[in-house]
Structure 1
């Protein structure tokens, strides 16, 4: 595997985060997911199995009022996802919303810096291979800005060698997470950040 410094280019595809997130979410609900493909260019079939709910069916009548998850959840955080792979970014945003957090997405380094100044996030999930400004430069810029200096910065990358982790520390990231990110581990980290806040 090349180090992050050698190549942060993903023109040949993603890093498999989407399927890993789906698998983890389905497993959390007691289900399973299977993938099958005949080969390159032949498409893929995904089968998701979830157990039926054992809760009794509600009687039909007035619907219960719907409350946003963030309104009633303690420890809700403002999270900025900076990720140039739009599918990955959108999946992470949905996962964060399911966990009860307010999430916003930026697809480039400069957009992440601008959104960070507006959002003043508690946490920034930042890819390292970003267009316009890589994740290392973005982390240094976020640390230098009073609106984002105290945010908990998480590097999310496909590169996990000692040299990659050292570069993340030097850029002042708080944590280095290797893709595909485990949703349960991410939730644990966010709970820890929320408890400290």
Structure 2
């Protein structure tokens, strides 16, 4: 069986809520701004590191309230969102709120979930997610999303 290998290099130090990575970098014209919404800080960091290695600039939010603020202030090109988030709002609520705003109609929303049932997947699609990935998300899935939605 053949696997994919990658090396991830990331800065030392803790991530803080609403972290902006590489915000002062000069960006190539096709570099995507990706918002990662994930309450598990270690998983969020790993996800951001992987996206950055793949040429993206990332922002991370650890809860729905912060995610909605960051999306509205930063207008990302792509959003990956965990369905289970701490607090009063879930990833389903984030998707519904963004889809209710015409300014976000064109932004791809990708659900990331630990749910492995078709009802959860259908609920995510009904909330406005374009795709649903089960954890752990595979490198090929991320690459496919970036290739599909990358701006040129």
TM-score > 0.5, shorter chain as reference: yes
Contact 1:116/1:147 (<8 A) preserved: no
CA distance, structure 2, for counterparts of residue 84 and residue 144 of structure 1: 23
TM-score by length of 1: 0.62
Instruction: Quote the RMSD (CA, aligned, Å).
Output: 1.9
Deviations along 1:3-38, one digit per CA (max 9) or x if unpaired, are xxxxxxxxxxxxxxxxxxxxx76x246xxxxxxxxx
When Rg is computed on C-alpha atoms for both structures, the one with the higher figure is: 1
Q: Between Structure 1 and Structure 2, how many residues are aligned?
A: 132
Among candidates 96, 99, 102, match of residue 140 of structure 1: 96
Among candidates 23, 36, 41, match of residue 81 of structure 1: 36
1:148 to partner: Cα distance:
2.7
Runs of 4+ aligned residues of structure 1 deviating over 3 Å after TM superposition are none
CA distance, structure 2, for counterparts of residue 129 and residue 146 of structure 1: 24
TM-score by length of 2: 0.79
Listed as ranges, the matches of 1:1-197 within 5 Å are 27-28=5-6, 71-72=27-28, 75-132=30-87, 133-194=89-150
Return closer, same or farther for 1:180/1:108 CA change in 2, 3 Å cut-off. same
Deviations along 1:64-105, one digit per CA (max 9) or x if unpaired, are xxxx6x734x53211100000000111111111111111100
1:110 to partner: Cα distance:
0.6
Partner SS, residue 137 of structure 1: helix
